[in-house]
Structure 1
Amino acid sequence: MVAQVYSYRRFSSPQQKFGGSIERQNDYANLIAEEYGLTLNEKLVMTDEGLSAFHAEHVSRGALGIFIKAVEEGLVERGSILIVESLDRLSRDQPMDAMHQFNELIGKGITIITANDSQVYNTASIAKDPSKLFISIAIMIRAHDESLTKQKRSVAFVKQQVRKFELEGKGDVAGTTPFWLSRTKKGFILNEHADIARDIVTSYLSNKGLNTISRELYEKGVPSPQKGKPRWGITTIRNVLDNKALYGVKHFKLRYLVDGQQVVEEYNLSDYYPALITEDDYKVIQTKKKKKATSREAYGDVTYLLSGYGKGRSVCSKCGQAVGSQLQKQRNRKGEYTQSVMRLHCMKHKESADCCKSFKSARLEEAFVDSVSHKIDGRFLTSFADNAHQESVLKAKIEDVEETISNLVETLMVVREPDTKAQLQKSIVSAEEEKRELQNQLTAIATSVISEEEALKINELKKAALDIRNNDERKLLKQIMIEVIDKIVINFEKQSLVVHFRNQDTVSVVHIPVIDIYVFVDEQVKAGRQR
């Protein structure tokens, strides 16, 4: 590989994009390549649009970061030239950090040439004229100070708008607007896309997974808010569900430097937007998302009910490692397809062959579904029924209070000032009382009896889900079980399992090989049943 000329352009605002700097720099890069007898590398013409050099985003997220990594890994040859408009395009970070980056590039044999003043920076030029080093530091200090001044103005404006909103209920903090809202002269209003966001929320609260929601939106012909993308991405749907604007809150973090240290201030402005849902619904959504973290709704057109619950939630009893399912197609001697067989694998054994062999798991899955179905509240199928929804809200609130208590206790352990300690202890007692009250309300709802209609719906879902071809029903059952099951421990040698529920109940599904049947025991009610 030979030395080449590389061109780097960065602009942090659209106005800079339409100036003449890019064309000027392109012409200059070609001129430098000709002068030094090198080839202009047109495959890595680096442009960072909308990335700030003051926050070093162009290094952490942009093309310059890729170039620096390529230099570090030796993919860019020593003696190569990097063209930049000026040194302040290279970095507006804190001078010490900017200088470190500058020295690192030069130390790797890279020559930096600035297009605005034709200055050449490399080991030889700086050794010949050390004043170049002082000039470069001065440019970086000036660039950082200019950006710091702009930042102070921006931060002051945002804080002024926050105060105005808190005092008058008016104020535009700026920032991006969610797709279901529009900005008008009188404030924000729900627009024609509000029903899309509402449908996403309703589907999720009805125990539909993100993949299912994405597919249904595509089938309805609802385009993604991301231009040019007809299908909704999982991340896009997740971002909708995460957005506090759903219940009217403007949430943002204000980051700025004070004496070289980054300060982060978090804001939650209530009633900033018109609400699409209640705060209680939002909390339920976040609780559901935590429970489903790392779980897998389906694999293609197949939903597995004994695996895919997330990290550490469906494991081998012998090694404690993950369990995986496989639908294996079987063929006869003529190579003709005969049937599909579901098998369960210990993933450790599958990789290293030193644990438990796989086995056909269809009958165990059937016994598992039968054994846990009586633990599923039929109101899950009508998530907005009063009791079921209120139960979800209370659980979400309890989790919030528990997190608050944990944070208060952590703070109490490091605080020394007596008055602050006393206030923290008072807050902990208050939070504990709130938690007890919420738990009492939850107990009252949980002990209520479900209707015959709800029990029938669960039974119908169970029967449909036992047929692997009914993927929609299996997905729905899987989403419900993700919420109620904490862990499944599978004994491969005995082809049995133990289910641990989030409410501390335990169900064992045991295979009796002598008579080839499965029985299950509910360790809460101590009752057995044969299958």
Structure 2
Amino acid sequence: MRFSDPRQASGHSSERQMAYAAKWASEHGLLLDETLSLRDEGLSAYHQRHIKYGALGVFLVAVEQGRIPTGSVLVVEGLDRLSRAEPIQAQAQLAQIVNAGITVVTASDGKKYSREHLKANPMDLVYSLLVMIRAHEESDTKSKRVLASIRKQCEGWIAGANRALIRNGKDPVWLRPVDGQWQEIPERVAAVREGLRLYLIGYGATKIIERLTEQGLSLTGRGPQSLQIYRLVKQRALIGEKEITLGTDTYRIPGYYPSLLTKAEWDGLQLATSGRGRRKAKGPVPHILTGIGITVCGYCGRALVGQNIGTRNRDELGRIQPGHRRLHCTSYSHGGCSVGGSVSVYPFERALMDYCSDIVNLQALYGADRSAGPLAKLTKAQQDMVDVVNNLERLTDAMLASAEDGVPLTFAK
């Protein structure tokens, strides 16, 4: 059983789908196992959420592991309940179930799909593909219409022609809609303001959450989570902007929310955030690549920090093993970087020292600016190119002038 919109839970969708299954089982003399009903309520089959996060995904894993007995029957209202993905993907999911010896029944049209039935009636496989194509096209069209509508709303807000609430994305936890207007939740606003104050004076996320809890404050009401702080300081909703990403376009809608910070306060917060990850390396063996601002993470732009591990496992000279001196991004542990892990600092230090050594040697050889020689060659080559172009133009003019008598063979060559 599946439907996309949670509001359908209050309608007749569930009752209708259950009635289909009960009727089919009764007509075919089968026992309907209601203890194993698979419900994906409010999960989209177009975006495959019912497979990524829902019961159907669990069922497919059980099929792959052979935990569903051969001869079982899976009843769905229609193939569009099973999947609205791209047809080739949807048919692969159907084939996975059927190849495991499970019969899929679409109760609304009385069709059944099993290896034996499809072998005897191969056109039913074509029919299933056509149904999947239609289901995907319907969802794709609906998705494009919804995106176009949201895009129009965003552009209307920015142009000042629309002031209706835009139902897309997450709204800040300190606000709630009341009669089409945003209303502040006093206890949430107090928690946000106190959290930002503590952040700006240097408190870490864990300490901030502890202080808020001591004061009986909560940012979301869903329990203490230090990641809430790092998400909060990046939310443009603090200055009243709603940020919506549609495909490759990102809309920033100013004045959508009541703001908690001025633009100057927001800029100060972002400045504090950008410098938050800068800290000096600790330990008996410092890293020459960290703490001086010359290395940053290539994915998020935050500072890198050195880490010495396994300090007891040293070589015969008492040195830390090369692979035990690591570099990692300071913001990864705070959820601010998408790429985790660490890397040995040894190859980078060797490369840097080799490069510096080469530069010193080259400057000694040149005795002056080492770029002077190559620049002189470049200037000479540019002048030669000008001369060649001028010569070609003169040849072209001569060929055109003698066109009536035919182009001489020498010029043609």
- TM-score range (shorter-chain normalised) is 0.5 to 0.7
Q: 1:94 aligns with which of 83, 86, 96?
A: 86
Q: 1:15/1:489 Cα in 2 relative to 1: closer, same or farther (>3 Å)?
A: closer
User: Quick one: which amino acid aligns to residue 171 of structure 2?
Assistant: T
Q: How many residues get paired?
A: 306
* Contact kept? 1:241, 1:285, Cα under 8 Å: no
Q: 1:134/1:162 Cα in 2 relative to 1: closer, same or farther (>3 Å)?
A: same
Partner of 2:173: 179
Q: 1:316/1:86 Cα in 2 relative to 1: closer, same or farther (>3 Å)?
A: farther
Mapped pair 1:216 → 2:223 = no
* Counterparts of residues 347-366 of structure 1 (less than 5 Å): none
Q: 2:197 aligns with which of 202, 210, 214?
A: 202
Partner of 1:40: 33
Partner of 1:528: none
Partner of 1:58: 50
- Give 1:200 deviation, angstroms: 1.8
* Counterparts of residues 379-528 of structure 1 (less than 5 Å): 486-489=305-308, 491-492=311-312
- Give 1:32 deviation, angstroms: 5.2
- Give 1:70 deviation, angstroms: 1.7
Larger Rg: 2
- Give 1:87 deviation, angstroms: 0.8
Aligned-partner Cα distance in 2 for 1:14–1:208: 40
Which whole-Å deviations, capped at 9, do the CAs of 1:50-87 have from their partners, x for residues lacking one? 22111112122222112112211222223222222211
Which whole-Å deviations, capped at 9, do the CAs of 1:362-406 have from their partners, x for residues lacking one? xxxxxxxxxxxxx9xxxxxxxxxxxxxxxxxxx9xxx89x989x9
Mapped pair 1:20 → 2:9 = no
User: Quick one: which amino acid aligns to residue 46 of structure 1?
Assistant: L
Q: Which blocks of at least 5 consecutive residues in structure 2 are unaligned?
A: 330-413
Q: 1:184/1:27 Cα in 2 relative to 1: closer, same or farther (>3 Å)?
A: closer
Q: 1:239/1:122 Cα in 2 relative to 1: closer, same or farther (>3 Å)?
A: farther
Q: 1:250 aligns with which of 225, 242, 266?
A: 242
Aligned-partner Cα distance in 1 for 2:63–2:282: 44
* Counterparts of residues 153-192 of structure 1 (less than 5 Å): 153-168=145-160, 170-171=162-163, 172-175=165-168, 176-183=170-177, 188=182, 190-192=184-186
* Contact kept? 1:30, 1:40, Cα under 8 Å: no
User: Quick one: which amino acid aligns to residue 53 of structure 2?
Assistant: R
* Contact kept? 2:191, 2:219, Cα under 8 Å: no
Partner of 2:266: 279
SS at match of 2:250: strand
* Counterparts of residues 102-121 of structure 1 (less than 5 Å): 102-121=94-113
SS at match of 1:120: strand
SS at match of 1:46: coil
SS at match of 2:305: strand
Aligned-partner Cα distance in 1 for 2:40–2:103: 20
SS at match of 1:487: strand
Q: 1:274/1:489 Cα in 2 relative to 1: closer, same or farther (>3 Å)?
A: same
Aligned-partner Cα distance in 2 for 1:314–1:137: 62
- Give 1:199 deviation, angstroms: 1.6
Aligned-partner Cα distance in 2 for 1:26–1:315: 65
SS at match of 1:148: helix
Aligned-partner Cα distance in 2 for 1:244–1:166: 16
Q: 1:186/1:134 Cα in 2 relative to 1: closer, same or farther (>3 Å)?
A: closer
- Give 1:251 deviation, angstroms: 1.6
* Contact kept? 2:83, 2:90, Cα under 8 Å: yes
Partner of 2:72: 80
- Give 1:24 deviation, angstroms: 3.6
SS at match of 1:267: strand
RMSD after superposition: 4.0
**Percent of pairs identical after alignment?**
31
More divergent stretch after superposition (118-127 vs 283-292) = 283-292
Q: Which blocks of at least 5 consecutive residues in structure 1 are unaligned?
A: 1-8, 256-263, 293-308, 321-374, 376-394, 407-482, 503-531
- Give 1:238 deviation, angstroms: 4.0
Aligned-partner Cα distance in 2 for 1:187–1:21: 32
Q: 1:11/1:37 Cα in 2 relative to 1: closer, same or farther (>3 Å)?
A: closer
Mapped pair 1:266 → 2:250 = yes
- Give 1:127 deviation, angstroms: 1.7
Partner of 2:354: none
| Higher normalized contact order (CA 8 Å, seq sep 6+, divided by chain length) | 1
Give the TM-score normalised by the residue count of structure 1. 0.49
* Contact kept? 2:72, 2:102, Cα under 8 Å: yes
- Give 1:39 deviation, angstroms: 6.4
Q: Structure 1 residue runs of 4+, over 6 Å off?
A: 313-317, 493-496
Aligned-partner Cα distance in 2 for 1:221–1:248: 26
- Give 1:235 deviation, angstroms: 4.2
Aligned-partner Cα distance in 1 for 2:107–2:63: 21
* Contact kept? 2:101, 2:114, Cα under 8 Å: yes
User: Quick one: which amino acid aligns to residue 212 of structure 2?
Assistant: L
